Structure 1
Amino acid sequence: MGAYYRRMQSRMGAPKAITATAHKLARIFYRLWTSGEHYTDPGIDVYEQQYRDRILKNLKIKAQAFGLELIPISTPTECVS
């Protein structure tokens, strides 16, 4: 929830981020209340990975719309001069 709040705060400001986070929390609570499940926090690493995957998927779709292709680059290695 903290990572979600911080991402929303940078995008739309604190008051709206608080409302968005509260709404997300209410949806989680309702789902757990109606289903009787237990909440397990997947952690910030899982959330960040899902966020990166979503961004990459959207970039690929936008690139295809322009007739381009995304090619991943290898990690930069030290340049020896």
Structure 2
Amino acid sequence: ADLSRFSTSQQFCSWLGLAPPTRISGGRALSGSGPKIHNHAGQALKQAASNARNDKGFIGASHRARLTRMDTSCAIKATAHQLARLIYSMLTKKQAYVEQGLAEFEARSQDRQLRALQRKARKLGLQLVAA
């Protein structure tokens, strides 16, 4: 449980092989995937993430939302990355995980959708009025 050799959660996720690829040239993402990293802890997190589909909590809801907008392997890797960041935070700050629940995910999702609608309305020169 000694994570002192990783100064940030990004370094920890990269070591696990769960960081998103950063192959960018000229501001555009290059095709192909990043290097293949075989890490047993990363593989275990991917298995946990694939089982998160059936979870009734915040992580399960965020995984199901990812599945609607990306393919299965990318969604599993993104959820495993989320789990790795949580684990790094819990181990370095010595705090227990607090489940936020499905209601919190729905509230965040609604707030995000409302802000997106307001942005679009401002762009079109309109104003949203609550009914």
TM bucket normalised to smaller: 0.7 to 0.9
The residue aligned with 1:49 is: 107
Distance in structure 1 (CA, Å) of the matches to 2:92 and 2:120: 38
* Greater RCO structure (CA 8 Å; 6+ sep): 2
Name structure 1 gaps, 5 residues minimum.
74-81
Superposition deviation, residue 33 in structure 1: 0.9
| Matched ranges for 1:20-39 at <5 A | 20-39=78-97
Deviations, residues 25-70 of structure 1 (Å, cap 9, x unaligned): 1011111111111111010111111111011012101211111111
2:96 aligned partner, one-letter code: H
TM-score, normalising length from structure 2? 0.53
Percentage identity across paired residues of the two chains: 38
1:27 aligned partner, one-letter code: R
Distance in structure 2 (CA, Å) of the matches to 1:31 and 1:51: 23
Q: Which runs of 4+ in 1 moved over 4 A?
A: none
Number of aligned residue pairs: give it.
73
Structural RMSD (CA): 1.0
Distance in structure 1 (CA, Å) of the matches to 2:74 and 2:130: 35
Q: By percentage of residues, which structure has more helix?
A: 1
The residue aligned with 1:6 is: 64
TM-score, normalising length from structure 1? 0.83
